[in-house]
Amino acid sequence: TGTIYGDFGIMYPDMTDLELMENLLTGHIPESIDRMLSLQGLSLARNELSGTIPNEIGNILTLKYLYLDNNNLVGLIPSSIAESNKSILEEIWFQNNNLSGTIPAKLSSLSNTLVSFFIDGNKFTGTIPYDLCRRSGSSSSSSGDEDYYSTATRLNANFYEALTIQE
């Protein structure tokens, strides 16, 4: 139990993996998280964290695994997690929070590296960016439909039915 100190990222800049899953943590994710320049895995899942996902999380260019699922996070998915063309994110788990708004189109730029993207159990509106469901360099048909549909089937049924796919 407890909170994550606001200067946590400054205190541990060389940490490569932070796994604080299921610790009944409360409070916010500190903005100083972006000072952890070697961080590859961040798991704060299954806690009682609140507030928004800090934009600064997009500054961690070494991040491969981001697990923030099953908390009380609110607000938008920060587009900063996809703004760097050097992003190597493979897994994003944001399911079962209170996130809202639309899914940033910029997340489509992660289609080369992103293997799993879980966002069910939130309050999203709008459309799922078409390119987010396609992996670049795949051997699917020229239209990309086969690859798109195989990826789209992994989306949560409730979430998928509430949104439309925009081509």
What is the pLDDT at residue 91? 94
Placement of tokens 């587009």 in the chain:
79
What is the pLDDT at residue 128? 83
Element (H, E) at 146: helix 145-152
What is the pLDDT at residue 16? 97
- Rounded to 5 degrees, φ, ψ at 91 are -135, 130
What is the pLDDT at residue 143? 41
Q: How many CA atoms lie within 13 A of 30 on its CB side?
A: 16
Placement of tokens 């609140």 in the chain:
50
What is the pLDDT at residue 156? 43
3 state SS of 42: strand
What is the pLDDT at residue 158? 43
Mean pLDDT by 10 residues, the chain (167 residues): 94 96 97 95 98 95 96 96 79 96 90 88 88 56 43 46 51
What is the pLDDT at residue 53? 98
Q: Alpha-carbon distance 57 to 80, whole Å?
A: 7
* Counts of helices then strands in the chain (DSSP H, E): 3, 13
What is the pLDDT at residue 39? 96
